[in-house]
Amino acid sequence: MAGIFVSLRLLQKLTGYNLHNEKATLLRIGQGDKQAFDELFKRYYASLVLYGEKCHLGREDAEDAAMDVLAKLWKGREKLPAVNYLPAYLYKAMKNACVDHLKKRNRSELTEKTYHQQGDPEDDAFALREAIRAEVLQRINEDIQALPDKYRTVFELTYHEGLNTAEIAARLGISVTNVTSRRNRALQMLKKELIKKDLLFIYFLLSQIR
């Protein structure tokens, strides 16, 4: 019975309150609940693709590999309720899928060089690092996604498209003051939400930008 020592607090930290749902979701999927599976798909698809890209698959191959992993998961859904820690389970499956994909290619000199410089996908330490990366990023992204639409749009235009206040006002057809107030409101909400979730990080990120 190795590897069963799991900290609830750590699990919560890592995946927030969604993890409470995760076990329930697995049970539902195990019973063939497709909606529950969709939830899981949305939670993990992007981070699995990101992981695949880090394994030197192109975006397209990475998407294929992620699809394969999730399709297998759905086919073997009967076994899901016994899965203890889903993220680790999924990244391990993704690791194997990536290695398979890479084996189909001929390992040219180029890939040898890439492996040497950027890490070998078959290496466990490499796999762990990339799983950590994907999880941390996914977790941060979820908090941004949780903002109400009208605030999130302003937030995204500001921080992801790099637009200034006037440009955003023009794009959304609202006043400059309105943009500023929405942005401040978004910051406040994030702070509150994040304090609630024990995740002040986004606020930290935002307060530096401000």
Partner 1 sequence: MDQELIQISSLILRHLEGRLSAYDAQQLESWKRADPLNARLFEELTDRAALEHQLNRLRAIDVHAALERFKHANNTDERSTPVQRPRVLVLRRKYWLGAAVMLMAAVSLFLLVNTRRVKNGKEQAHVLPILPRDSGAILTLSDGSQVLLDTIRDGIVALHAHDSARIVNGSLVYGAGMDRVAYNSMSTRTGTQYHLTLSDGTGVWLNSLSSIRYPTAFKGAERLVEISGEAYFEVARNKKLPFRVKIDEQSSVTVLGTSFNINSYRDERSVNTTLLEGLVRVNSGRDSISLSPGEQTQLRPSGGIIRTVALQDVSTVVAWKNGLFSFNNAGIEEMTRELKRWYGIDTRFEGPVPDKIFKGELDRGVKLEAVLNWFTALGIKNRLEGNTLIISNQP
Give the nearer residue to partner 1 in terms of CB position, either 81 or 177. Answer: 81
**Least distance to partner 1, CB of residue 59, Å:** 8
| Helix spans in 76-173 (H) | 86-104, 109-118, 124-145, 149-159, 165-172
- CA angle 130–80–144, rounded 5-degree value: 45
Write each residue from 125 to 164 as x if it is in contact with partner 1 (CB under 8 A), else as -, in one continuous string.
xxxxx-xxx-xxxxxxx-----------------xx----
Measured over the CA atoms of residue 89, residue 90, residue 92 and residue 96, the dihedral's sign is positive
**Least distance to partner 1, CB of residue 178, Å:** 24
**Least distance to partner 1, CB of residue 19, Å:** 7
**How many residues does the structure list for the chain?**
210
By CB under 8 A, residue 205 contacts partner 1:
yes
By CB under 8 A, residue 207 contacts partner 1:
no
Write each residue from 7 to 46 as x if it is in contact with partner 1 (CB under 8 A), else as -, in one continuous string.
xxxxxxxx----xxxxxx--xx-xxxxxxxxx--xx--xx
By CB under 8 A, residue 63 contacts partner 1:
yes
Stretch that binds partner 1, among 67-75, 107-115, 168-176, 178-186 (CB under 8 A): 67-75
By CB under 8 A, residue 4 contacts partner 1:
yes
**Least distance to partner 1, CB of residue 61, Å:** 13
**Least distance to partner 1, CB of residue 115, Å:** 13
Query: Measured over all CA atoms, what is the biggest interatomic distance in the chain, rounded to whole angstroms?
Result: 61
Residues within window 78-97 making contact with partner 1, judged by CB under 8 A: 81-82, 84-85, 87-88, 91-92
Cβ atoms of residues 161 and 100 within 8 Å: no
The one-character DSSP state at 107 is -
18, containing H or E segment: helix 18-30
Give the Å distances, CA to CA, from 109 to 49, 113, 119, 149.
25, 6, 15, 48
